[in-house]
Amino acid sequence: MMTTNDRAARILPLVHELKDIAGVMNILSWDQETYMPAKAASVRAQQLATLQGIYHERLTAPPLGEAIATLEADPDATETERAMVRSLRLERDRAVKVPARLVRAIAETQVIALEAWREARRMRDFVVFRPHLEKLLSLKREQADAIGYEGERYNALLEAYEPGLRVACLGELFAALRPRLVSLVQAIGGSGRQLRNPLANRRFDPDKQWELTLRVLADMGFDFGAGRQDRSTHPFTGGANHPHDVRITTRIDPGSLVSGLMSSVHEAGHALYEQGLPLAHARTYLAQAPSCSVHESQSRFWENMIGRSLPFWSHYLPELRRLFGAELQSVSVEDLYAAVNTVRPSLIRVEADEVTYNLHVMVRFELELALLRDDLRPADLPDSWRKLMDEYLGVVPTSDLDGVLQDIHWACGDIGYFPSYTLGNIISAMLLEKMLGDIPALWELVGRGELRPIVEWQRANIHVHGFRYRAEELVERATGRRICESPFIDYLDKKYRPLYGI
């Protein structure tokens, strides 16, 4: 009989090696976005491609496959070992099933498509990007067919971001959510109330803004001994795929007090998750989130539910006055609260408020689905985009730049990713509802700047489990209910109806 030690000795060295390579790649990517000198761009791309090749080779090598099969067949394997091997198999199966020729073709096409997308944006013309999107789509179809799926082809692509989730379930969730969002947006529009933005047209010293983000990160419990914050054009969370090396970036805009702070708080939500993953299982596939939506639920929770709450701003107002006295003299906490929660249908997803945001996501989901079902030709995308934007949000872009060309995702081959954003919002509201039951004084604590009890709750209910459970099971264990849209709707109603007097 094999003991736990025997089993570990057989598979863990292989797993650790893989995760070390992945961690190093992640650090190189972080460096690429922060400190790397411009001339290093092409050598860095080569280095990453080399490491990617080694990673793929090790992941698909027969010894690992044998070690996985042995462990799966072992009746004495522990629950933890089973969970670890389950998450590893997910990663390996996708790599094994897709032929190397196709992996290469997709990687090469993405590089060219990304360049074409940038050119198309300069020309404000989708036609420049269209042939590249067509090619990418046909390769992604091939990839989905190689991976295999039940029902919808889209399921195979969704699996990369949301293991276990199916289009049918997602479609149902979105179908229930959409009319409620549309009617809330219409009610807000019909209220005639325009929220004043007392922060507009002012300048907020970037160094002081930076100081503010560090103060808030420390209050949130971000461990600066196991992480750091730097600046980048597009904020993100990176690091070494290890709880002891988690790096976030933010972008400070001198014209906005809110955007830098909120992006710091958002990324810190991701970072607290990474720092809280089970240390005992670091360097394995167990020390990771079970899905992109669960990861996003943590960042959205911090950004929107805590960072855009009245108690949060009332706690930090004295600090804001100390840092930016002159600019904030006549600004009340209610003004600030209204300024960070203005709802207005707009064309650009990344600038959207938390009510309209999900309608942007649904537009993209519908279009991706139609493309993969062959119900929509890429040539008709801009038209369909405008039609759906009009239907869901009541606004129509006049140029492809503000329409179908705005997101980088499709040019990068990330088809099937958008739903994770909305799913993350839905899950974050479920977590808030449960947390309020467990910590009735939550808002008083936030009002006093005591944010640690929130982190402790997240640690115990989400972070510590890593990928022990699939996303839907993790959420059910944490909240006592299956994933559903109603807590999110309730949350929006409770917050925005009073704000807009409806």
Of 109 and 299, CB closest to Zn ion = 299
Window 22 to 61, contacts with Zn ion (CB under 5 A): none
**H-only helix segments in 41-153:** 41-60, 62-73, 79-97, 100-123, 130-147
How many residues form the binding site for Zn ion (CB under 5 A)?
1
Q: Which of 81, 162, 267, 274 is catalytic?
A: 267
Q: Measured at the alpha carbon of residue 333, what is the angle toward residues 331 and 337, in degrees to the nearest 5?
A: 110
Judged by beta carbon, residue 235 or residue 487, the one nearer Zn ion is 235
Output the CA torsion sign for 55, 411, 418, 137.
negative
78-86, 89-97, 212-220, 293-301 -> range binding Zn ion (CB under 5 A): 293-301
Q: Give the binding range for Zn ion (CB under 5 A) out of 112-120, 130-138, 296-304, 325-333.
A: 296-304
Residue count of the chain = 502
Q: What are phi and psi of 55, to 5 degrees?
A: -60, -45
Looking at beta carbons only, is 382 or 419 nearer to Zn ion?
Answer: 419
Q: Which is nearer to Zn ion, 299 or 304 (CB)?
A: 299
Q: Name the minimum Å distance from CB 235 to Zn ion.
A: 9
What letters, b where the CB count within 10 A reaches 16 and e where it falls short, cover 345-362?
bebebeebbbbbbbbbbb
Asked if 294 and 328 touch (Cβ cutoff 8 Å), the reply is: no
Residue number with CB closer to Zn ion (388 or 429): 429
**Residues 294, 461: contact at Cβ < 8 Å?**
no
- Beta carbon of residue 165, minimum distance to Zn ion (angstroms, whole number): 18
Determine the 3-state secondary structure of 166 from DSSP.
coil
Among 299, 309, 384, 479, binds Zn ion (CB under 5 A): 299
Q: Which stretch binds Zn ion (CB under 5 A): 104-112, 154-162, 226-234, 291-299?
A: 291-299
Tokens (6 digits) for 230 = 């730097």
Q: What gap in Å lies between CA 363 and CA 347, rounded to an integer?
A: 12
In whole angstroms, how close is the CB of 426 to Zn ion at the nearest point?
15
Q: Side chain identity at 89, as an amino acid letter?
A: R
One-character DSSP codes across 232-251: -SS--EEEEEETTEEEEEE-
The CB-of-116 to Zn ion minimum distance in angstroms stands at 26
Residues sharing a CB contact under 8 Å with residue 234, sequence separation 6 or more, in sequence order: 33, 251
Nearest distance, CB of residue 72 and Zn ion, angstroms: 33
Q: How far is the CB of 156 from Zn ion (least distance, A)?
A: 24
Residues 307-326 that bind Zn ion (CB under 5 A): none
The values of phi and psi at residue 344, to 5°, are: -155, 120
Give yes or no for a contact between 330 and 294, defined as CB atoms under 8 angstroms apart.
no
The burial of 333, by beta-carbon neighbours within 10 Å (0-12 exposed, 13-18 middle, 19 or more buried), is given as: middle
Residue with nearest beta carbon to Zn ion: 299
Residue 248 Cβ vs Zn ion, minimum distance, rounded to whole Å: 10
Of 224-232, 294-302, 472-480, 494-502, which part binds Zn ion (CB under 5 A)? 294-302
Specify the stretch interacting with Zn ion by CB under 5 A; choose among 29-37, 186-194, 298-306, 412-420.
298-306
Q: Which is nearer to Zn ion, 245 or 274 (CB)?
A: 274
Q: Which residues pair with 229 in a beta bridge?
A: 248
Identity of the residue, 143 or 299, whose beta carbon is nearer to Zn ion in the bound complex? 299
| 267 in catalytic set | yes
Shortest Å distance, C-beta 421 to Zn ion: 8
Q: Is 68 or 277 the residue whose CB approaches Zn ion more closely?
A: 277
Any contact of residue 263 with Zn ion (CB under 5 A)? Answer: no
Give the 3-state secondary structure percentages of the chain, helix then strand then coil, rounded to 5: 70, 5, 30
Q: How far apart are CA 250 and CA 265, in angstroms?
A: 9
Separation of alpha carbons 78 and 80, rounded Å? 5
Binding segment toward Zn ion, per CB under 5 A, in 80-88, 220-228, 292-300, 400-408: 292-300
Catalytically active residues are 267
Residues in contact with Zn ion by the rule CB under 5 A? 299
